[in-house]
Amino acid sequence: MAETDTHQNLSPLITESADGSSSLLPATQQFGRRGFLNKAGLALAGGCLAGLPGLAEGASFAPSNPFEGEYHRFLQRLRLRRISVDEIISAHHRQRGGVSNTVPPKSMWRDIVPVLKVADRAAREMRCEITGVLSVYRSPAYNARCPGAARNSMHTRNIAIDLRFSIPPSRAAAELRRLRNRGLFTGGIGRYGSFVHIDTRRQNVDW
């Protein structure tokens, strides 16, 4: 479609101050969260999850620590249209080798915002659905149990997500590279057998 072939219709979601580098900010700068939220247009709105694909009735979400409910509410305020917040939270419940993953520390919560917005926007641009959230944040201990995971995985910085789309991974990765070329974001795109990895590191990387 012509509308997706022009640069004019796709404003960058990522700014220098809002990309994954935020995880490198000194603690004193991380308290500027309110300003960040306003800049990102994360206004409160009710009913934003109504009809979201993949959001099962009876909600699988059950807080497993005091921060999870708060993180859940933080993510809901992003008003993602094609990613279920319950599925995001569920990805933090997985276990490997007897090690349970966790939600990220609060100081890292906002670091996930850019990549979630990229994925949500990409699904809309590609006119497909997100059918699975496989991995988001990984605690260092959990990451160490993930076969093949880099020690400094972007998942441990809370700037990465592994997703299944309703289109083949090869096509999703190609579409994501096209969107990245148009300025949607800067970061990594990894294609796997059944899913795609996206991250918002400050350089473009493909695998």
* Binding residues for Zn ion (CB under 5 A): 160, 162, 197
Q: Which two tokens stand for residue 26?
A: 């000194």
DSSP string, 17-65: TTSGGGGGS-GGGGGTHHHHHHHTT----TTTTTT-TT--TT-----SS
Amino acid 82 reads R
Length reported for the chain: 207
- Least spacing, CB of residue 120 vs Zn ion, in Å: 17
- Least spacing, CB of residue 167 vs Zn ion, in Å: 18
- Least spacing, CB of residue 137 vs Zn ion, in Å: 11
Beta carbon nearer to Zn ion, 71 or 137: 137
d(CA 178, CA 166): 18
Q: Which position's Cβ is nearest Zn ion?
A: 197
- Least spacing, CB of residue 199 vs Zn ion, in Å: 7
Beta carbon nearer to Zn ion, 110 or 157: 157
Q: Which helix (H) or strand (E) holds 164?
A: strand 160-165
d(CA 47, CA 155): 29
Beta carbon nearer to Zn ion, 37 or 146: 146
d(CA 199, CA 10): 19
Q: Strands 188-191 and 160-165, how do they pair?
A: unpaired
Beta carbon nearer to Zn ion, 19 or 162: 162
- Least spacing, CB of residue 161 vs Zn ion, in Å: 7
Beta carbon nearer to Zn ion, 133 or 160: 160
Angle at 25 between CA 111 and CA 201, to 5 degrees: 50
d(CA 130, CA 194): 12
- Least spacing, CB of residue 162 vs Zn ion, in Å: 4
Beta carbon nearer to Zn ion, 17 or 170: 170
